[in-house]
């Protein structure tokens, strides 16, 4: 029973985290691109939206999946969901 | 030597892992330490090898030999790893024994992912299309977010061998599995043909052998590696290939950046070069000489348009004129050379009206492009075509161009997260935790190349726009004449307005040249050009390895073992897999040797197909317990069907294949390449709708979903390893 409620909490938090990160993903990918013309102020030489599409968003993607991997490792421990590795 | 040591450690470790020994984690660390050791030595040896060749070049080693040494040394290395890693064990053959550390799996995924198209084609696409090409950068990197959040950890927990495996277990019955096999083979086969085609081109360019021979040389490398050692050999080869390709990519770009800006970090500095390119674009679009050349091409285009109105009459007129010229020359005793020229002009005229029509249409398309400013390229930094503040048609053009950009990004992302040869890589790591970390490493290694490609495109553009354009024809840089000699289709210059100076619109440049010529543009010695070709070869071979293995495993594991003969022994399955791999590889090489013209379209289409076929069924299978088998099968068929239907209606080659004659009507202006933008939502909708209409899945299936979701659960799924 106890393990079960822990698991439900684990899954709920996982889904919420994915939701938040997907929002960032969506904003960076589709939001920024949609307003690319408007966002062309100078950013170290690049028009900002050009830099975002060429460099910024790939780096944001790396950052959010690294964050997700670390958060889930912690979540595994908190809710006793670590795998039995050894 | 040390590679063998690493293997021995790994063998001990596998036994420990299997017996649940408490030392499992410890020996996993030992295995990783041994790997670090091996690859450090490998990297040092590789650099020493390149330096030695560079020194030999100074002592007069010929280009032909440098190319040949590069080719034989790298293919020999990959084959050697394959022989060392040979195996007949199923878990070793299909998933490398599930003990690849996250970092190494990341590198292997990077090489698996980055194909000849990424390595050679991407910078060229960016050079030619500017901002709109960045859809590939975002699409091919952002897809890994979907892999990390929705697929990799859960597939690893599931822990079987293939992607159809998951569909089969989760949805029950043979139909979802079979649909998965069909879709996997369809996507992977077109892709592998393109890789082998790339191998042929690079080998031919590197050594001067014939294209067909190049294909079979490269095939030898692929086969020795994946045939004997399966996933185990492919994994360790892909790691070495990643190192080759990333060094080969970064070196010339860094050099070019130092040459132009003095800063060795091209990714951080090319914004200022982009500014200069934009300023130069404005100058060029007002330059009177450029306008003159554009005018000449405009005239050519309208002449061709007139011919196209009545092709048979025009061809007849051409023939009469050429015959008259020839007979006049003969009558006036003109020099032999001009008589020969006139004779050749006459024989070179198209033989049939159809041939003339085809040729003239191509010529007209080229002339049309060249009658536009900047050689038909959009201004590099300009986001989308058209103008949101302009008249109705300009506003419309802007909207459609933006919509297509977003749709392409969507299809490439979802397609990335659905390509089986990428997803199976996450079966090879030791744990769920490492699967999650491994996606981060994969993307990091991939991003390293993808944020460099836009820099390369801009640096080359700066070089062409400021240093090459406006140069007298007899003083053009060496790389222009050299590549013109290699293949005029890749690069050619013609003094259209006879002013002795090169205008931008007089230079025709193919996308592939940008990367291949980068070392020569930067003035680097030939050994770097050889390195770049070896990098392209590594990119193509590593992707081909992964794809061939995916196809062979689907057939031997899913079709033969799971559906035809469930009692087959492990050795028999692995042997069958090897035979199938050979057959598929030869088949792909056979198709590639015919140089299929529409292969590039098929490769991009593979993303839309994979997205529509796999993504809805896989993600709903994990995140929605209610999804049922019938619904998933229908959803996969509907998603694939919608995508195929739209392409058959709108893509010229597919239209001719399916004999579609009605006029092209795009839905919301979406290009056929992004057909997945319709297929994916249809797939989701069908699965959800029919799941609600059919009976809830068995408790056993629900247990499987639970098992996949929570890393701690030891559950219902069978655990072969």
Give A31-77 pLDDT, tens digit per residue.
Answer: 999 998 888 888 888 999 999 999 999 999 999 999 999 999 999 98
Burial class from Cβ neighbours inside 10 Å (0-12, 13-18, 19+) for residue B341 reads middle
Nearest CA in chain B to A55: B451
Residue B80 has pLDDT above 90, yes or no: no
Q: Range of A69's domain?
A: 2-79
CA distance A45 to chain B (A): 4
Residue of chain B minimizing CA distance to A14: B149
The H or E element that residue B493 is part of is strand B491-493
A contacts of B24 (beta carbons < 8 Å): 85-86
**Taking 60 as the threshold, does the pLDDT of residue B22 lie above it?**
no
* Range with top average pLDDT, B124-138, B223-237, B481-495: B124-138
Question: What per-residue confidence (pLDDT) applies to B597?
Answer: 64
With CB atoms and an 8 Å threshold, state whether A65 touches B443: yes
How many other CB atoms are found less than 10 A from the CB of residue B344?
11
Instruction: Give the nearest partner residue to A61 out of B268, B443, B706, using CB atoms.
Output: B443
Cα B119 from Cα A65, distance rounded (Å) = 24
The reply to whether residue B409 touches residue A30, judged by beta carbons under 8 angstroms, is yes
Among A31, A40, A45, the residue to mutate for chain B (most B Cβ within 10 A): A45
Q: Are the Cβ atoms of B271 and A51 closer than 8 angstroms?
A: yes
Query: Quick one: pLDDT band at residue B8, thresholds 50, 70, 90?
Result: very low
Q: Is residue A56 part of a domain?
A: yes
CB contact under 8 A, B25 and A37: no
Quote the CA–CA distance of B185 and B113 in Å, as a whole number. 17
Which conformational region is residue B159 in: left (phi greater than 0), alpha (psi within -120 to 50 degrees), or beta? Answer: left
* Count of the separate structural domains present in chain A: 1
Would you say residue B276 has pLDDT above 80? yes
Interface of A with B (CB under 8 A): 7, 10-11, 18, 21-22, 25, 29-30, 33-34, 36-37, 40, 43-47, 49-51, 53-55, 57-59, 61-62, 64-66, 68-69, 72-73, 76, 80-86
Point out the residue among B138, B269, B711 whose CB comes nearest to the CB of A76: B711
B451 to A59: CB separation less than 8 angstroms, yes or no = yes
Which tokens hold the place of B27? Answer: 């020996």
pLDDT higher than 50, residue B547: yes
The Cα of B451 is separated from the nearest Cα of chain A by a number of Å equal to 5
State the sign of the Cα–Cα–Cα–Cα dihedral A45, A49, A54, A58. positive
Q: pLDDT at position B569, please?
A: 85
Print burial letters for A50-79: b (CB count within 10 Å at least 16), e (below 16): bbbbbbbbbbbbbebbbebbeebbebbeeb
B403 touches chain A (CB under 8 A): no
Q: How far apart are CA B27 and CA B24, in angstroms?
A: 5
Q: Judge whether A62 lies within some domain.
A: yes
Subunit contact A54:B712, Cβ cutoff 8 A:
no
Is residue A85 one of the residues assigned to a domain?
Answer: no
Task: Name the band, by pLDDT with cuts 50, 70 and 90, for residue B1.
Answer: very low
Q: Tell me if A55 and B443 make a contact (CB, 8 A cut-off).
A: no
Please judge whether B145 and A86 are an interchain contact, meaning their C-beta atoms are less than 8 angstroms apart: no
Instruction: Give tens-digit pLDDT for B624-662.
Output: 999 999 999 999 999 999 999 998 888 877 778 788 888
The percent of residues in chain B predicted with pLDDT above 90, rounded, is 33
Strand-pairing partners, residue A47, are A42
Is the pLDDT confidence value at B331 over 90?
no
Instruction: Return the biggest CA–CA distance within chain B.
Output: 99
pLDDT at residue number B713: 83
A58 → closest Cβ in B402, B409, B451: B451
In the DSSP assignment, the letter for residue B698 is P
pLDDT of residue B213: 83
Q: Do A58 and B272 touch (CB under 8 A)?
A: no
Tell me B501's DSSP state: B
Residue B604 — very low, low, confident or very high, per pLDDT cuts 50/70/90? confident
**CA pair distance B502, B509, nearest whole angstrom:** 13
B contact test, residue of A6, A21, A57, A62 with most B CBs within 10 A: A62
pLDDT at residue B574 above 70? yes
Residue ranges of B 240-269 with Cβ closer than 8 A to chain A: 267-269
Instruction: Tell me the pTM.
Output: 0.88
pLDDT tens, position by position, B483-498: 888 778 788 888 888 8
**What is the least distance, in Å, from the CA of B23 to any CA of chain A?**
7
Q: Any idea what the Cα angle at residue B82 is, between residues B78 and B84, rounded to 5°?
A: 115
State the average pLDDT over residues B302-315: 84
Hey, are the CB atoms on B131 and A53 less than 8 Å from each other?
A: yes
Q: Cβ of B145 and A50 within 8 Å?
A: no
**Interface check B274 vs A, CB under 8 A:** yes
Strand partners of residue B501: B472
Distance CA B606, CA B190 (A): 7
Mean pLDDT in residue range B360-379: 86
Closest partner CB to B451 (pick from A11, A54, A68): A54
Q: Let me know if residue A51 belongs to a domain.
A: yes
Q: Is residue A84 part of a domain?
A: no
pLDDT for residue B126 is more than 90: yes
Rounded Cα distance between B422 and B144, Å, is 10
Instruction: Examine residue A23 and state whether it is found in any structural domain, yes or no.
Output: yes
How much is the pLDDT for B613? 92
Strands A46-47, B491-493: pairing kind: unpaired
Q: Is residue A15 part of a domain?
A: yes
Query: What's the pLDDT at B654?
Result: 78
Exposed/middle/buried for A5, CB within 10 Å: 0-12, 13-18, 19+?
exposed
Assigned token pair, B31: 């295995």
Q: What secondary structure does DSSP assign to B8-30, as a single string?
A: HHHHHHHHHHHHT-TTHHHHHHH
Testing the interface with A: which of B106, B382, B440, B459 to mutate, by most A Cβ within 10 A?
B440
Would you say the C-alpha torsion B109, B112, B113, B119 has a positive or negative sign?
positive
Are B409 and A21 a contacting pair at CB < 8 A? no
């Amino acid at each position: 029973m106890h393990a079960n409620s822990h698991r439900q909490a684990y899954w709920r938090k996982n889904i919420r985290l994915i939701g938040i990160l997907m929002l960032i993903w969506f904003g960076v990918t589709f939001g920024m691109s949609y307003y690319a013309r408007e966002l062309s102020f100078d950013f170290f030489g690049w028009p900002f939206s050009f830099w975002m599409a060429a460099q910024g968003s790939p780096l944001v993607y790396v950052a959010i999946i690294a964050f997700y991997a670390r958060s889930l490792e912690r979540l595994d421990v908190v809710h006793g969901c670590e795998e039995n590795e050894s | 030597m040390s590679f063998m040591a690493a293997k021995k450690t790994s063998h001990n470790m596998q036994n420990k892992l299997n017996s649940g020994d408490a030392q499992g984690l410890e020996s996993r660390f030992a295995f990783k330490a041994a790997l670090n050791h091996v690859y450090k030595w490998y990297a040092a040896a590789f650099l020493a090898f390149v330096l030695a060749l560079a020194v030999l070049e100074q002592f007069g080693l010929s280009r032909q030999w440098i190319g040949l040494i590069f080719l034989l040394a790298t293919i020999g290395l990959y084959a050697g790893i394959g022989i060392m890693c040979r195996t007949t064990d199923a878990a070793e053959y299909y998933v490398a024994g599930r003990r690849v550390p996250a970092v190494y799996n990341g590198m292997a995924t990077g090489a698996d992912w980055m194909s000849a198209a990424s390595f050679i084609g991407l910078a060229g696409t960016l050079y030619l299309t500017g901002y709109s090409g960045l859809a590939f950068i975002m699409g091919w990197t952002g897809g890994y977010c979907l892999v990390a959040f929705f697929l990799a950890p859960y597939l690893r927990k599931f822990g079987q061998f293939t992607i159809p495996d998951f569909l089969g277990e989760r949805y029950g019955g043979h139909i979802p599995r079979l649909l998965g096999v069909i879709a996997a083979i369809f996507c992977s086969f077109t892709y592998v043909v393109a890789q082998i085609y790339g191998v042929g081109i690079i080998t031919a360019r590197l050594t001067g052998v014939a294209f067909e021979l190049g294909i079979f040389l490269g095939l030898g490398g692929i086969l020795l590696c994946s045939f004997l050692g399966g996933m185990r050999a492919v994994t360790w080869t892909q790691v070495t290939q990643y190192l080759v390709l990333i060094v080969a990519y970064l070196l010339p770009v860094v050099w070019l950046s130092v040459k132009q800006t003095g800063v060795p970090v091209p990714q951080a500095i090319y914004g200022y070069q982009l500014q200069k390119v934009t300023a130069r674009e404005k100058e060029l679009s007002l330059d009177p000489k450029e306008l003159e050349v554009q005018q000449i091409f405009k005239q050519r285009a309208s002449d061709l348009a007139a011919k196209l109105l009545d092709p048979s009459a025009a061809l007849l007129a051409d023939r009469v004129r050429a015959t008259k010229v020839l007979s006049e020359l003969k009558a006036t005793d003109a020099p032999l050379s001009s008589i020969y020229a006139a004779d050749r002009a006459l024989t070179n005229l198209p033989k049939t009206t159809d041939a003339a029509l085809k040729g003239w249409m191509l010529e007209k398309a080229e002339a049309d492009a060249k009658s536009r400013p900047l050689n038909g390229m959009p201004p590099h930094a300009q986001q989308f075509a058209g103008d949101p503040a302009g008249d109705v048609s300009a506003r419309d053009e802007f909207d459609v161009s933006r919509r297509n950009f977003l749709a392409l990004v969507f299809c490439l992302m979802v397609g990335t997260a659905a390509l089986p040869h990428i997803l199976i890589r996450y079966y090879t790591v030791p744990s769920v935790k490492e699967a999650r970390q491994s996606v981060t490493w994969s993307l990091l290694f991939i991003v390293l190349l993808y944020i460099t490609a836009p820099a390369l495109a801009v640096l080359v553009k700066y070089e062409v726009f400021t240093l090459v354009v406006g140069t007298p024809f007899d003083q053009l840089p060496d790389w222009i004449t050299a590549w013109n000699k290699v293949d005029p289709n890749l690069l050619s210059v013609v003094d259209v307005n006879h002013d002795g100076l090169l205008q931008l619109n007089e230079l025709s440049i193919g996308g592939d040249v940008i990367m291949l010529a980068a070392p020569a543009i930067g003035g680097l010695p030939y050994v770097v050009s050889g390195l770049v070709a070896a990098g392209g070869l590594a990119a193509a071979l590593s992707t081909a390895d992964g794809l061939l293995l995916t196809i062979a495993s689907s057939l031997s594991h899913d079709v033969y073992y799971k559906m035809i003969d469930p009692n087959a022994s492990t050795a028999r399955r692995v042997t069958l897999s090897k035979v199938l791999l050979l057959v598929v590889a030869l088949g792909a090489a056979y198709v590639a040797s015919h140089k299929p013209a529409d292969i590039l379209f098929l490769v991009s289409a593979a993303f839309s197909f994979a997205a529509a076929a796999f993504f809805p069924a896989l993600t709903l299978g994990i995140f929605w317990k209610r999804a049922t088998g019938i619904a998933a099968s229908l959803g996969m068929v509907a998603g694939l069907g919608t995508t195929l239907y739209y392409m058959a209606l709108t893509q010229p080659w597919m239209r001719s294949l399916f004999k579609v004659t009605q006029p092209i009507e795009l839905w919301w202006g979406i290009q056929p390449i992004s057909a997945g933008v319709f297929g994916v939502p249809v797939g989701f909708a069908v699965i959800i709708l029919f799941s609600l209409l059919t009976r809830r899945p068995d408790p056993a299936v629900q247990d499987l979903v639970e098992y996949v979701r929570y890393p701690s659960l030891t559950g219902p799924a069978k655990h072969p390893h």
